[in-house]
């Protein structure tokens, strides 16, 4: 198990220059240099505008703070990201114009390369205990509250990582909310 916190994350401008992202985790793609197989981040969106394109990437976004945003796809489909902690999924190569509903938002992003990893997202709200891990790699982002993992305290904005079938248990007296990402590799590292 590994626990990452604010000191481990990278702050950067968006690809399109319209916002900022705090990158929590970036796992390199096994075959394509300068690409990731999995990326977890938190975006702060302060103005409406186009979403960056990520061809070959499956995206899941989850509203953490703010009133929300309407995602207007070029093919006339609209998705509302206006319910806190409710994931929505879409293709990274989609042409999207984003329109803030009422002020800035903060959102959690899961991006997985389709040819490298499958990522399954589940939100756990106001729990006093949770077991994380098992098949594949697991990541748990703490959205609210605090919890103990053995003798380690985890708090808001921490990321717990378990790999290779490792399992951990979290306990909390006051309760915590977290976003769990379960991943399965879909490529073979051997040539």
CATH number at residue 147: 2.60.120.10
Can you give the pLDDT at residue 72? 94
Total domains in the fold of the chain: 2
55 and 36 within one domain:
yes
126 and 83 within one domain:
no
Can you give the pLDDT at residue 127? 95
Listed residue (54, 50, 82) closest to 67, CA to CA: 82
Can you give the pLDDT at residue 71? 95
Confidence tier at 126 by pLDDT (50, 70, 90): very high
Confidence tier at 155 by pLDDT (50, 70, 90): very high
Mean pLDDT, all residues of the chain: 92
Is 191 within the bounds of a domain?
Answer: no
Alpha carbon distances (Å) from 161 to 56, 166, 182: 24, 9, 10
Q: Is the pTM of this model over 0.85?
A: yes
How far apart CA 105 and CA 183 sit, in angstroms, is: 26
DSSP conformation letters of 56-106: TEEEEEEEEESS-EEEEETTS-EEEE-STT--EEEETTS-EEEEESSS-EE
6 and 66 within one domain:
yes
67 and 47 within one domain:
yes
Is 69 within the bounds of a domain?
Answer: yes
Look up the domain containing 144 and give its range: 117-185
Q: Which residues contact 186 (CB under 8 A, 6 or more apart)?
A: 115, 116, 117, 118
User: Phi-psi bin for 47: left (phi > 0), alpha (psi -120 to 50), beta?
Assistant: beta
Is 84 within the bounds of a domain?
Answer: yes
Mean pLDDT computed over 135-145:
94
125 and 99 within one domain:
no
179 and 121 within one domain:
yes
How far apart CA 106 and CA 27 sit, in angstroms, is: 22
71 and 44 within one domain:
yes
**For residue range 66-104, what is the model confidence (pLDDT) as tens digits?**
999 999 998 778 999 999 999 999 999 999 999 999 999
129 and 107 within one domain:
no
154 and 107 within one domain:
no
DSSP conformation letters of the chain: -EEE-GGG-EEEE-TTSSEEEEEEEEEE-SSSTT-EEEEEEEEEE-S-EEPPP-TTEEEEEEEEESS-EEEEETTS-EEEE-STT--EEEETTS-EEEEESSS-EEEEEEEEETTTEEEEEEEEEEEEEEEEESSSEEEEEEEEE-EEETTEEE-TT-EEEE-TT-EEEEEEEEEEEEEEEEEEE-S-S--
Is 101 within the bounds of a domain?
Answer: yes
């Amino acid at each position: 198990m590994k626990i990452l916190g604010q000191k481990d994350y990278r702050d950067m401008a968006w690809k399109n220059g319209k916002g900022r992202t705090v990158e929590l985790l970036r796992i390199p793609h096994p075959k394509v240099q300068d690409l990731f197989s999995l990326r977890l981040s938190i975006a702060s969106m302060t103005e409406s505008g186009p979403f960056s394109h990520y061809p070959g990437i499956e995206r899941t976004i989850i509203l953490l703070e703010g009133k929300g945003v309407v995602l207007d796809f070029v093919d006339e489909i609209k998705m509302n990201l206006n319910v806190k902690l409710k994931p929505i999924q879409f293709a990274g190569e989609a042409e999207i114009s984003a329109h803030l509903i009422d002020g800035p938002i903060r959102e959690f992003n899961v991006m997985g390369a389709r040819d490298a990893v499958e990522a399954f997202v589940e939100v756990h709200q106001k729990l006093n205990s949770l077991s994380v891990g098992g098949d594949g790699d697991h990541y748990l982002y703490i959205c609210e509250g605090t919890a103990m993992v053995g003798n380690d305290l985890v708090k808001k904005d921490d990321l717990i990582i378990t790999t290779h079938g490792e399992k951990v248990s979290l306990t909390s007296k006051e309760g915590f909310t977290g976003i769990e990402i379960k991943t399965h590799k879909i490529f073979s590292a051997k040539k």
